[in-house]
Amino acid sequence: MSSPSLSRRAAAGFLGVAVASGVLLSAGSAQAAISPGRVQLCAQGNYAAYLVFNTAAQDQQGASTATVSAGSCQTFDIVNYGGGRQTGISVIGKYNTSSGTFYVDGLNVNPTSGGWKLFAKGTTANAGAGAYLEIEAAPRS
């Protein structure tokens, strides 16, 4: 059984409201393995990707994760900046033919609530404009 997901490109307006209000974006049995306070990045496009954590207000020095190779997944702890603040998670893609990077997309999350699964998809074509992000949220109880 496949789990549903929400394409950032298809529903960007809805996503901002949904994430800000804590609305469940999608849930599936595969997602249950992602623990609260954790995020899994799957690089499913033709490029490697990594995450950068910051506060939602972008007022701290960003913390980067290891690079996830194209075709693989890796799970990371979400940085908790304390004070009840949301954590901003930016997905950064790496070009195949240079050492350059590009912004794929991002979201703000409660760092202690349900886990997240992020799928970096698409291609590096047209300076990364063909890249996009799909998000699965852990089931809420």
> Is residue 15 domain-resident?
no
pLDDT digits (tens, 9 = 90+) for 112-137: 988 999 999 999 988 889 999 999 97
> Is residue 5 domain-resident?
no
pTM: 0.76
pLDDT digits (tens, 9 = 90+) for 10-39: 333 334 433 433 333 444 444 447 899 999
> Is residue 4 domain-resident?
no
> Is residue 24 domain-resident?
no
> Is residue 2 domain-resident?
no
Q: Where would I find the H helices in the chain? A: 12-21
Determine the pLDDT at residue 24: 34
Amino acid at residue number 26: S
Determine the pLDDT at residue 36: 93
> Is residue 52 domain-resident?
yes
> Is residue 50 domain-resident?
yes
> Is residue 40 domain-resident?
yes
Q: What is the mean pLDDT of residues 7-12?
A: 38
Residues 6+ apart with CB under 8 A from 5: 25, 26, 28, 119, 134, 135, 136
CATH for 93 = 2.60.40
**Which residues form the domain of 39?**
29-137
Domain count, the chain: 1
Determine the pLDDT at residue 127: 86
pLDDT digits (tens, 9 = 90+) for 41-97: 999 999 999 999 999 888 888 899 999 999 999 999 999 999 999 999 999 999 988
